[in-house]
Amino acid sequence: MIHFIVKFGNPVLEKPAEKVTVFDEELKRLIDDMFESMYAARGVGLAAPQIGIARRIAVVDVTFKEDPSAKLVLINPEIIHKEGRHMQSEGCLSIPDFRENVTRSQAVTIRAQNLTGKVFEKSGDDLLARAFQHEIDHLNGKLYISHISALKRDLIKRKIRKLVKAGEW
């Protein structure tokens, strides 16, 4: 099932999500839905709060269906190592049509649980590292615009307020 993507302004995007403790069929279905919703929205990463569910779950596929082994399910993920700095243009499905340069760690290692609750570690650099950081931020109620200057952030918020007023957000 494809879920509607929640946009900036919805409080679910700015509060920390709850830890997942039950690994059952319902969780598997939710994750299938998350991949389906992410692909439908042309995204390479999606966090559960973005479909209005405040749980620590994210899905990532930086190859966008090219490589099945690149489909990653991250449950209760955390960053355990990071290094380097890298600036690149970044966007978010919950803040459509905006992009800004964001400086993040160039390489990170995460620890997370899979669908069955098994703990694993995974390292990534460049786009994958960026996706890990962006999605884990979502689970902590943080959006990428918190990493840009206050001036640029206020400009984006002002434009969004106009879109809301016009009924276009």
CB of 13 to Ni ion, least distance (A): 9
* Part of the chain binding Ni ion (CB under 5 A), chosen from 10-18, 30-38, 87-95, 113-121: 87-95
Q: Is 62 in the site for Ni ion (CB under 5 A)?
A: no
* Part of the chain binding Ni ion (CB under 5 A), chosen from 15-23, 92-100, 102-110, 122-130: 92-100
CB of 22 to Ni ion, least distance (A): 25
109 by Cβ neighbours in 10 Å (0-12 / 13-18 / 19+) ranks as middle
Nearer to Ni ion, 23 or 169 (CB): 169
Which residues are annotated as catalytic?
135
- The site for Ni ion, by CB under 5 A, has a size of 1
Taking the C-alpha atoms of residue 36 and residue 32, their distance in angstroms, rounded to an integer, is: 6
Picking from 19, 41, 51, 157, the residue whose alpha carbon sits closest to that of residue 98 is: 157
Q: Which three-class secondary structure state does DSSP give residue 40?
A: helix
Nearer to Ni ion, 23 or 86 (CB): 86
